[in-house]
Structure 1
């Protein structure tokens, strides 16, 4: 992982576009919190059921994420942790990274300031994605066995 140059006030020149995966993660995160807000505001009656849980009774690695985000929105972190501890930890970490990248791109696009952007090699990205997928699979198995 590398960081591009230092902070530049009133940048000029072309703006490096954001990777489409960053926009995708931002959309998923925002959509998740919108869904959690709707779930909370509806008195916990409107939500998206898990197809795996509905058909097999097993919990997928993401089961409980909407209830977890709704608990986070009301400030109940203990309850949020119990709904889905893996997403409770990974979500804010990924959200902070994605949020910083979007903020840096936005400020540069508005020609206000150019902040250093995180750049990861293809190998690091692939390793990270594989590690997160392996963690989620292991968690999905473990939450149904224990």
Structure 2
């Protein structure tokens, strides 16, 4: 069968390989952020985590506004969400979809229902993507405070 197609799992098949620790970490971070966004939205913005960088310098860090952005998205206010942090507006849904897919694939395999293909990025890609993301966010952090 073609590797891109799911296949039924037979009872004799081995248990799935464990979830990558980065997927588990990202899932926990996304879940915590979602809870914080809900609390922030329900409190009218009165409850949230203050940014230590902003508290120390008075400048916005590259991630400032992410909680408010998520709270605005949960309220359906896309325009306001975009205004808080455009890069995270784009990145967070992509990361959430990838993490959700990985969790779904692992769960379905663990339940022995069927196996979805799981992406296996190369070691180089696993090093380059986070560094490129952090570099882009650092540049955004500088530019957002200049303009």
TM-score range, shorter-chain basis?
over 0.9
Deviations 1:89-141 (A, max 9, x none): 00001111111001000000011110000100110111111110111100000
Task: List alignment gaps of at least 5 residues for structure 1.
Answer: none
Q: What is the rounded CA distance, in whole Å, between the counterparts of 1:120 and 1:40 in structure 2?
A: 36
Q: What is the rounded CA distance, in whole Å, between the counterparts of 1:75 and 1:41 in structure 2?
A: 13
Q: Which structure 2 residues correspond to residues 1-146 of structure 1 after superposition, within 5 A?
A: 6-11=5-10, 12-146=13-147
Displacement after TM superposition at 1:5 (Å): 5.4
Q: What is the rounded CA distance, in whole Å, between the counterparts of 2:83 and 2:42 in structure 1?
A: 21
Q: What is the rounded CA distance, in whole Å, between the counterparts of 2:15 and 2:96 in structure 1?
A: 26
Q: What is the rounded CA distance, in whole Å, between the counterparts of 1:111 and 1:144 in structure 2?
A: 51
What SS does the corresponding residue of 1:119 show, helix, strand or coil? coil
Displacement after TM superposition at 1:53 (Å): 0.8
Q: What is the rounded CA distance, in whole Å, between the counterparts of 1:96 and 1:125 in structure 2?
A: 18
Q: How many residues are paired up?
A: 143
- Calculate the TM-score normalised by the size of structure 2: 0.93
Output the aligned Cα RMSD.
Answer: 1.1
Q: What is the rounded CA distance, in whole Å, between the counterparts of 2:78 and 2:43 in structure 1?
A: 20
Task: List alignment gaps of at least 5 residues for structure 2.
Answer: none
Displacement after TM superposition at 1:56 (Å): 1.1
Q: What is the rounded CA distance, in whole Å, between the counterparts of 1:18 and 1:5 in structure 2?
A: 19
Structure 1 moving runs of 4+ over 2 Å: none
